Structures are given as C-alpha cells and as structure tokens.
Structure 1
Amino acid sequence: MTLTSDTARHPRAFVAPLVSTVLTLPLAAVAFFFVGLSPMACDSCGDAASDRFDASYGTAFASFGFGLLLVLAVLVAAWALPWQRRNAAARVWLAVVAPAAVVVDFAVFHGLVDWP
C-alpha cells in the first residue's frame, strides 16, 4: 500500500493546535476571571438596578459557560483531526477559531448584561 500526499502523515500537525491551546486557555482563564468579577460592578446599585443586573447576569453567565464549552469542543476537534496532510487546513482554521471564539464569547457576555 502506498501513501499519497493527502493521506501521508503530516510531521508538524501538532503545531497549530498547540499554539492555539497555549493562547486559548490563558485567554479563557482571564475572561472567566473578569466575568467572575462582574457582579461587583453593581455593589452600590439601588434595588431596581440591582434586580435588573442580577437577572441579566444569570443569563449572560450561563451563555458564557456554554460558549466556553464550545471553545473547548473546537480545541478538541483541532487536536482530534487525523494528522494527515489533507486535514491541515481544517486544523489550522479550528486553531484560529478557538481564541477568536473566546473573544466573541466575552463580547456576547458583555452585551447581554444590563450594566448599571
């Protein structure tokens, strides 16, 4: 059996997922840190503003958590693709999407919260 250039093992297939993981995990940790600190933004709010903030924060935090699960799924997919040359483009795209998805996830969180 001969291997064609598409089915041959790619010797540096791990580079894109590795770089993406090194960027994505700290970025997600920092985003989670700031999301966790967000309830302190309304410590001095009145009752009505605090109720609006708390209700919107609950929804936004749940969507942020789901977004982080999607980021994790993208990272796992980047690592799980077979290490063949034909999957190189998909692996690179998944590796690029993962850190960008963290930024989008944080932006969605920020947009969903009814800030005081």
Structure 2
Amino acid sequence: MEQMPYPYRIEPRRPTEDDRDPLAIVAPAVSTAVTLWGGFVLGYLALLTLALCGNACNNDPDASLILTVCVWSLVVPTVLLLISWFLPWRRRHTATRVAFAILAPFSLGALYVLFNVWLALT
C-alpha cells in the first residue's frame, strides 16, 4: 500500500529549541504554590517557637538573630521563584526553569532544618 502524500505543499514543521514551550507555566506555578504554603508554615513555626520561648527569648540576642536570619533567608526561595518565572519561555530553557522551580521549595526546607538546628544549638 502506497503512503498518501501530504495534501499541502509544505511539510509540517517540527518544533525547535527556539519555539515557545506550551507547558512553561506549569513548573513555576506548582513551585509557587508549594513554596508559598511552605513559607507560611515556616513563618508560623518560627514565630510560634519564639512565642513558646517566652521572656528568655526576648532577652536573648541569639533568638532575635535567629529570627532575623530566618526572615531574610526567605529571599533565596523568592529569587529562585522569580528566576523560574522570568526565564524566556522557550524550549531550550525548560530544564533550567524546572531546576529553579524545584530548588525553591527545597531551599525552604533547608532553611527550616537550619532554623531548627541553630535553635537547638543555642
């Protein structure tokens, strides 16, 4: 059986690396949802920990330093999310976009572990 030729004169074009990625929004959107939820939980736990500590934490400069570092360390996941959102939505940037989107919640988890270890050591 003979294969029928393509009915149009031009063959369909295969996607290249410079084409727009139709699923480019998925990784940053999921990462943003997970990171926002994790950031709120981390902030709540950090404030709850200092509230449970009572007056001992109010007079201890290490506790306020830990909270300050924890708050300013939230800049790292935010920057990772912004990079994943603002990379060009081309196929060649898909792996980089997904990598930054995955690193944002994991950096938040690392921050939580660092906060607890630092708090336990003081």
TM-score (norm 1): 0.83
Answer yes or no: is the 8 Å Cα contact 1:56–1:114 preserved in 2: no
- Work out which structure has the larger RCO, using CA pairs closer than 8 Å and 6 or more positions apart in sequence: 1
Unaligned runs of 5+ in 2: 1-14
Larger Rg: 2
Which structure's residues are more often helix, by fraction?
1
Whole-Å Cα distance in 1 between the matches of residues 61 and 120 of structure 2? 9
The match for 2:89 is 83
Q: What aligned pairs does 1:5-16 form with structure 2 within 5 A after superposition?
A: 5-16=16-27
Seen in structure 2, the aligned counterparts of structure 1 residues 51 and 18 have a Cα distance that, compared at 3 Å, is closer
Q: 1:100 to 1:115 in 2, by over 3 A?
A: same
Superposed displacement of residue 57, structure 1: 1.4
- Is there any run of 5+ residues in structure 1 with no aligned partner, and where? none
- CA distance 1:52–1:36, shift in 2 (3 Å): closer
Aligned length in residues: 110
Task: Provide runs of 4+ in structure 1 moved above 4 Å.
Answer: none
Name the amino acid aligned to 1:34: L
User: 1:49-83: per-residue Cα shift (whole Å, max 9, x none)?
Assistant: x2698222112112111211111111011000000
| RMSD of aligned residue pairs (Cα, Å) | 2.5
Identity of aligned residues (%): 28
3-state SS of 2:74 partner: helix
Q: Which moves more between the two structures, 34-43 or 106-115?
A: 106-115
2:109 paired with 1:103:
yes
